[in-house]
A and B are shown apart, each in its own frame.
Chain A
């Protein structure tokens, strides 16, 4: 299975007026389960379609293994039908005039696979996906989840090098979605295909992918493992896009009480970070001490009033108000705190995300804050 490489890939519409994708450099490793994540309109679907060959580049190059499939400078373009990939559409795009079986064996017939082998393969794929009993039905006679399986089966039947999935779970209800997620993970293990997956749903990305590429406004923001993305977001966009409830951001330049508290904290503990632009606190990294003196030394803490306790089933979201600012925290143990109670809320130093004024992560801050944490052995990262 080859690796997919995008080099300086650009895609613009209307003579460069709209840039769907700009300067995209991305390596998708062989056997990866790569997820393209981003809000709608960020260029993730365009990227997927460029890989498939359904869109051509405006400039740049795409390679699959050593084979150049799209290069503007050398006028190379391999049409989608010769790229040997599979693509599952968001709408499934099953052919309404063909039965499930004919939908599934379409690719094999095109490849003139002998009948016996074709049937064997179709049977195997249908069995894997549990759709063999619908083989003589038409797509409109199936439910959304079943259609989704047929769309997958149709692509898996030809055993493509690369399987591309365009928001395939977005039309399913919550339960089916969970099932299909597990199914996709199993299929990835079984078929060992490289999978590229587009979604705007961060949980889908986190749970499925081995690697996530976060995009915004046509530009790649960060590539990394799900943990990387969550724990070390490369910039403010990634930090704010991933995570629910979203990360609390304190603008250090602002005049709010929290900003002043944070500036004081940095000047006390890591003066070198005085030039930072903002600091982020993940809601679940926020711990509580009912008495201020119980807060571990070296932690960043503020006093705040609980103004709302929102149960989400198994966990709670706390709305906290300092004199001027609102923060959100999550907890998995039933909060002892009632509405209106006041307490000290704090975050361990190594759980702080520090960003420069332009929004990029200050990676040197991570080491400095880790050093602060090490100096205070009782300050653990997460208490909940």
Chain B
């Protein structure tokens, strides 16, 4: 249709198209009119350095002769080699280095996924769609394992089941006269069980949320057409639940892939390795090249799993309807199953939270395990003085080491979290507001990259890059700075997602309204954006802080005694067999993480579940 109007369409002759240089000049002017683009470029450079460069440097290490290996390989340091790849994949030690850990990692991951899906789906359904007793209470209680560090439970397990195979204080079972076999005390069985219980909350949260939002009209329509409950469940509910199930599966898989603490505590005594612990050992034994290959493999698996996830979710989302107004979950009456169902939830809670925590608490106040005589109880391990032990001569609360570690944790993780929160919001702002599209795409992707890289591989990357002086950057190994930088980078996926979604949710309108009203950039920032986003900023700082406190994999590689934090401190106590003290420290961490989470939810009036959509 031609645009010729009857009346006053201006009759201007078509002006010549502006020249290419004029267009470029105009675009540059638009792009640089406000600091947004400049800030975006600076942030992009920062992340290129903090995220892309370490990963590249790590991958390069896998193909370069490392310092100290010149003799063995017969090439000068720095030249290109397949030696490490071959050593990891085909040499006689490859089986121990890579293949067995790989098989173990997959076995554990899939078992964990299977167990937590079954338990989690049942619980999610009970919590969101039935009239089980104390649903509200369970809804919070069953999420608690997620708020605590996973290896808390590993320690509880050793406290109970540790047998004679390993030195140091025996487990309760052993002391009660029953000697647990190795397969029960260490390795695959306990690791799988503990991780399954630890990740069940993911399933409960993701599937439960989806079930709650599920439009019951969809179910009703099927029923009216004559479908029985089974047909409804398999043909209506399950297909629509698939995206949430898939997210839960991939999330758990990614977490298992990078999981270090549990496998370290429970796998080491029987030489049961997963990829993460194998990587840790390679680093520990200064096999930088092999470590790089292992880290690369972990990253590759992470990338592949996320690509599968993206594809499946995209497929599945195509036909998912947006929850409509009819979304009102009706509760099913359980009838005579009401009590057994409640019993099931209570059992899961007891096994996954109650028992482990109780065990840990008791273990810190008992001299000899599993001796419940009154005289056996003591507070010495917490506040005692002049004890008879070799090194820990006073209770853990009176040890300066603890307070130093606590202080280190606080300020290192605190500063890193504050930076991540701010950077996340900044990334969100630039991504949403910059007129330069490629910048927005780059920032979005680069900040997501660490998500693909398990913490332990990321730490290895940092080690490889910052261990020595490079250009103007001094060797950072052993400083708090390297920990902070690694923490910031590691937390960016969550921080930037939070920032982007906060800015998306806010939309452009409030800022544009201020712009129309005559406010310049800085004015808009200080008077409109930051005050409105206060809540998001608090969340963006608090959540990384909590996950940083309980995080282990970054610290275990990058921390040195001078930068000891609570997690590495407790790990060292385990290594020295100060079981009670180690458990006490872990309890402190668990307490901080739990109350921090509760506080974060209170302050920001958010629910943990909302931040889990990733």
* Interface set of A (CB-CB < 8 Å, partner B): 5, 7-8, 23, 25-27, 52, 54, 56, 59-61, 72-75, 77, 79-87, 89, 91-97, 106-107, 110-111, 151, 154-155, 158, 216, 219-224, 228, 232, 234-237, 358-361, 363
Q: For residue A83, which residue of chain B has the nearest CB?
A: B516
Q: Say how far A136's CB is from chain B's closest CB, in angstroms.
A: 17
Interface assignment of B9: CB less than 8 Å from any CB of chain A: yes
Given contacts A59-B17, A107-B518, contact A77 B7 (CB under 8 A): no
Please name all residues of chain B whose beta carbon is closer than 8 Å to the beta carbon of A228 when the two chains form the complex: 6-7
- Bound: A83/B509 CA distance, A: 17
CB-defined contacts of B517 to chain A, threshold 8 Å: 81, 106-107, 110, 154-155, 158
Interface contact A236-B1, CB-CB below 8 Å = yes
A199 to chain B, nearest CB (A): 18
**A91→B512 CA distance, assembly (Å):** 12
Q: By the criterion CB–CB under 8 Å, are A220 and B5 in contact? A: yes
9 A-B pairs whose Cβ atoms sit less than 8 Å apart in the complex: A8-B12, A26-B10, A54-B512, A80-B512, A84-B518, A91-B509, A95-B513, A106-B517, A222-B9
Docked-complex contact B509 and A89, CB < 8 angstroms: yes
Which chain B residues in 1-41 approach chain A with CB under 8 Å? 1-12, 14-15, 17-19, 22-23, 25-26, 29-30, 33-34
Contacts of B3 in A (CB 8 A): 23, 219-221
A363→B22 contact, CB < 8 A: no
The answer to whether A91 touches B26 (Cβ under 8 A) is no
Most chain B CB within a 10 A radius of its CB, from A72, A107, A236, A360: A72
B90 on interface, CB distance cutoff 8 Å = no
A73/B22 contact (C-beta < 8 A), A7-B12, A60-B15, A96-B532 known: yes
Identity of the chain A residue whose Cβ is nearest the Cβ of B4 in the assembled complex: A360
Given the interface pairs A8-B15, A358-B1, the reply to whether A72 lies near B26 with Cβ below 8 Å is: yes
The residue of chain B having its C-beta at the shortest distance from the C-beta of A86 within the complex is B516
Chain B, Cβ-Cβ closest to A228? B7
Looking at A60, A86, A87, A93, the one whose CB has the most chain B CB atoms below 10 A away is A93
Among the listed A61, A106, A237, which residue makes an inter-chain contact with B1, where contact means beta carbons less than 8 Å apart? A237
Known contacts A7-B12, A97-B531; A224/B515 CB under 8 A: no
| Residue among B22, B512, B528 having the largest count of chain A Cβ atoms under 10 Å | B512
Whether the Cβ atoms of A93 and B6 lie closer than 8 Å is no
Given A7-B15, A72-B23, A81-B516; A97-B6 close (CB under 8 Å): no
Does B7 contact A222, Cβ atoms closer than 8 Å? yes
Q: Which residues of B contact A111 (CB under 8 A)?
A: 518
A54 to B514, alpha carbons, bound, how many Å?
12
Given contacts A7-B15, A359-B1, 14 further A-B contacts (CB under 8 A): A52-B516, A75-B29, A77-B29, A77-B30, A77-B33, A79-B34, A80-B516, A82-B518, A91-B509, A96-B532, A216-B1, A223-B7, A228-B7, A236-B1
Could you tell me the dominant secondary structure of chain A's interface residues? Answer: mixed
CA–CA, A155 and B517, complex, Å = 7
Complex CA distance for A219 and B22, rounded to whole angstroms = 25
Query: Which of chain A's residues have a CB closer than 8 A to the CB of B531?
Result: 97
Q: What residues of chain B lie closer than 8 Å to A26, measured between beta carbons?
A: 9-10
Chain B neighbourhood of A237, CB < 8 A = 1
Q: How far apart sit A91 and B7, CA to CA, in the bound complex (Å)?
A: 33
State which residues 513-550 of B face A: CB under 8 Å: 513-520, 523, 527-528, 531-532, 534
B507 within 8 A of A: yes
The verdict on B229 contacting chain A, using a C-beta distance below 8 Å, is no
Task: A75 to B19: give the CA distance in the assembly, Å.
Answer: 11
Of B1, B29, B435, B534, which one neighbours A235 at CB under 8 angstroms?
Answer: B1
Contact, CB under 8 Å: A234 / B5: yes
In the complex formed, the residue of A with least CB distance to B15 is A8
Q: Name the residue of chain B whose CB is nearest to the CB of A220.
A: B3
Q: Is the CB of A93 within 8 A of B5?
A: no
Evaluate whether A234 and B4 lie within 8 angstroms (CB atoms) in the complex, with A95-B513, A106-B517, A222-B9 already known: yes
Query: Is B510 close to A, CB under 8 A?
Result: yes
The answer to whether B515 touches A80 (Cβ under 8 A) is yes
Bound CA span A236–B531, Å: 50
Known interface pairs A23-B14, A81-B515, A223-B9. Does A75 touch B507 (Cβ–Cβ under 8 Å)? no
* Contact A73:B18 (CB < 8 A) given known A52-B516, A80-B515, A91-B509: yes
Within the complex, what minimum Cβ distance (angstroms) separates B76 from chain A? 48
